[in-house]
Amino acid sequence: MNFTGTILLVDDEPHIRQFIGHLLRRTGTPLLFEAGSGEEALEMHQRERPDLILLDINMPGLTGIETLGQLRAAEPECIVVMLSSLASRQMVEEALALGAAGYIRKDTPKDEILATLTEIIARCCEAANPAEPAP
């Protein structure tokens, strides 16, 4: 993955943040912010304006779905990828309906996590910067 933007990683479990953070740092991700709750994620987003947000769904307090809704209300263009050990069809559909760019299960092999993130980033960058029509 050749991503040069900033990433906000949000998960209430420190060992998950450590694992995903380590995985992303190995790819050369230049700047990674971490938050342990939805409330902290909203504050960090306001302050740092990350290019990509990896957001856990199942968190105490403000859930990932609630956090996603508030993030998208504050900045409709923000790229949010949901991370969760839950993958019910209803949960995925709800996250996508609220504007999540994708959904990754935490038990996905690390190579697949990176491939999925690479695809989502490429798709979102392409949508933000469409190629100019040929003359």
Domains of the chain: 6-128 (3.40.50.2300)
Question: In sequence order, which residues have a C-beta less than 8 Å from that of residue 94 and are 6 or more positions away?
Answer: 65
Is the pLDDT score of 67 beyond 90? yes
23-42 pLDDT per residue, tens: 888 777 767 899 999 999 99
Which of 46, 67, 47, 54 lies closest to 16 in space, CA to CA?
54
Give the predicted TM-score (pTM) of the model: 0.86
Question: In sequence order, which residues have a C-beta less than 8 Å from that of residue 50 and are 6 or more positions away?
Answer: 5, 6, 7, 8, 33, 44
Q: Exposed/middle/buried for 15, CB within 10 Å: 0-12, 13-18, 19+?
A: exposed
102-133 pLDDT per residue, tens: 888 888 898 888 888 778 777 766 655 545 44
Q: Which residues pair with 9 in a beta bridge?
A: 34, 54
